[in-house]
Amino acid sequence: MRFASSAVVFMAVASTVTAFQQTAFKPSRISIVVQQSTSATEAEEKRATKKEERLRMMKSDRFHRRGFKEVREGVESNMEDQFQSPIVNSLRTSNFVMDRDGVKVYLAKDFGFCWGVERSIALAYEAAEHFPDRKLHITNELIHNPEVNENLKAKNVQFIEKLGDGTKNFASVQDGDVVILPAFGASFEEMDYFDKKNVEIVDTTCPWVSKVWNTVDKHQKQGLTSVIHGKYAHEETVATTSFCEDFICVKNFKEAEMVANYILNGGDKDAFMKHFENAVSEGFDPDKHLEKVGLANQTTMYKKETRAIGQLFQKTMMKKFGPVKSKEHYMEFDTICDATQERQDAIHDMVESAQKDGLDFILVIGGWDSSNTAHLLEIPVHAGIRAFHINRAECIGADNTITHRTVDGEIVTTQLLEDMDKEVVMGVTSGASTPDAAVQDSLSQIFLLKKMYDESKK
């Protein structure tokens, strides 16, 4: 397997201008340019300026989005050594099923590293090779995978310190340093700050994420408020909202229903604003900003839920404004990335044949902060199948325990194999930021556990 080259086509994104000179600040989603009282024309002019400003930043010689050719071959080979897995390769070539040491494994048809993550890692590793004498920083985890982030630390990439109040301390970033922006992007305020400093910026933002930024830009140009299906504090959503002027984030269908209900029936404005206080743009007024809405999403959300939310708003606007007029009040572009969709479809298929295959449980591997991995867990759990989300092989104990993250976000330790005397039958999948090597390590732990038990019985 060869890893993806970092040379890619990028989507244009909207931007804003700010004179931001502090060294510790919150990657605010508050628009610092657009005032609430501007006319539509003035707002449009400001948007044009924002877009131009962002494009100007991206054209700078200090802004790198395409990697560094002279070190590419070495980086590809390094990634192959670090991330590939003979066990996973063997599963791929044996129709995604394997029997070993009393364990039968079904591997999901789509799983693991997505193109955007491979590209992001390649860009970051290439930056470390290309700037061997510079101090390198990264604004956040590159991706939600502990091994990859540890690899970056080993390459002397410094993680910018997060302070207790949610701000970041940029004091360590000095002129001439290199700053890497992670796969899920950085807020405009952060980009603007680094643009004004004399630093090299290596932007590894996944183009699927910048596609969402384009979508919210379209909303704004058409006078729509962006309803973002996402977690307002997630790094990707923080970046997306920094490119919006008017927005509200809904984390699930229940919150979308609250918004739809307000659109149709109004209600207690203070209670509504209290509930969404951290999830709306500055100056948000539900009586004004929910008249016309457009849907966008965090790329890693649960696809079925995003679609259900879209249908809900479509119906809501039809009820309120009638079928013809409703088109002016609701707009939707599909911004769920293919990788998220394919991995969710694959685990759906696994769940559908779980009974036929006799699955005892499904193992879901990925960072505990990984949103796309958390959604992969929800699918079997909601279907009533035992499933465990682990972030690394060490979560599987030699005493037949597993330390895992539940759908409610708790980390708990429970028994793994319920009946060790029979053949273990399991499904396995992994999130978009999980290398195959992590799947191999986790499977090896289970093979060893079963083998040792069987041998102890002899």
Contacts of 105 (CB under 8 A, 6+ apart): 91, 97, 98, 99, 426, 427, 428, 443
C-alpha dist (Å) from residue 438 to 113, 412, 443:
11, 20, 9
Query: x/- binding map, residues 225-254, to ligand SF4, per CB under 6 A?
Result: ------------------------------
Residue 112 C-beta: closest distance to ligand SF4, Å: 11
Q: Which stretch binds ligand SF4 (CB under 6 A): 110-118, 173-181, 289-297, 314-322?
A: 110-118
Residue 210 C-beta: closest distance to ligand SF4, Å: 10
Q: Which two three-digit tokens encode residue 139?
A: 């604004």
Q: Which two three-digit tokens encode residue 181?
A: 């922006």
The radius of gyration computed from the CA coordinates of the chain, to the nearest angstrom, equals 23
Which residue of the chain is nearest ligand SF4 when measured via CB? 116
Does 300 bind ligand SF4 (CB under 6 A)? Our answer is yes
Does 215 bind ligand SF4 (CB under 6 A)? Our answer is no
Does 208 bind ligand SF4 (CB under 6 A)? Our answer is yes
Length of the chain: 458
Contacts of 208 (CB under 8 A, 6+ apart): 116, 299, 335, 337, 338, 339
Name which of residues 392 to 421 contact ligand SF4 (CB under 6 A): none
Contacting residue, 88, 296, 337, 346, with ligand SF4 by CB under 6 A: 337
Catalytic-labelled residue, pool 118, 190, 235, 236: 236
Q: Which stretch binds ligand SF4 (CB under 6 A): 16-24, 74-82, 125-133, 205-213?
A: 205-213
Does 367 bind ligand SF4 (CB under 6 A)? Our answer is no
Contacts of 145 (CB under 8 A, 6+ apart): 366, 367, 370, 433, 434, 435, 438
- Rounded to 10 deg, the angle between the 188-196 and 40-59 helix axes is 50
Residue type, 171: A
Contacting residue, 432, 438, 446, 449, with ligand SF4 by CB under 6 A: 432
Does 339 bind ligand SF4 (CB under 6 A)? Our answer is yes
Query: x/- binding map, residues 143-182, to ligand SF4, per CB under 6 A?
Result: ----------------------------------------
Q: Alpha-carbon distance 229 to 49, whole Å?
A: 27
Burial of 247 by CB count in 10 Å (0-12 exposed, 13-18 middle, 19+ buried)?
buried
Name which of residues 112 to 141 contact ligand SF4 (CB under 6 A): 114-117
Q: Which two three-digit tokens encode residue 267?
A: 């209600």
Q: Alpha-carbon distance 220 to 240, whole Å?
A: 13
Residue 236 known to be catalytic: yes
Name which of residues 15 to 74 contact ligand SF4 (CB under 6 A): none
Residue 341 C-beta: closest distance to ligand SF4, Å: 9
Residue 116 C-beta: closest distance to ligand SF4, Å: 3
- For the annotated catalytic residues, the residue numbers are 236
Residue numbers of the site for ligand SF4 (CB under 6 A)? 114-117, 183, 206, 208-209, 299-300, 337, 339-340, 372, 432
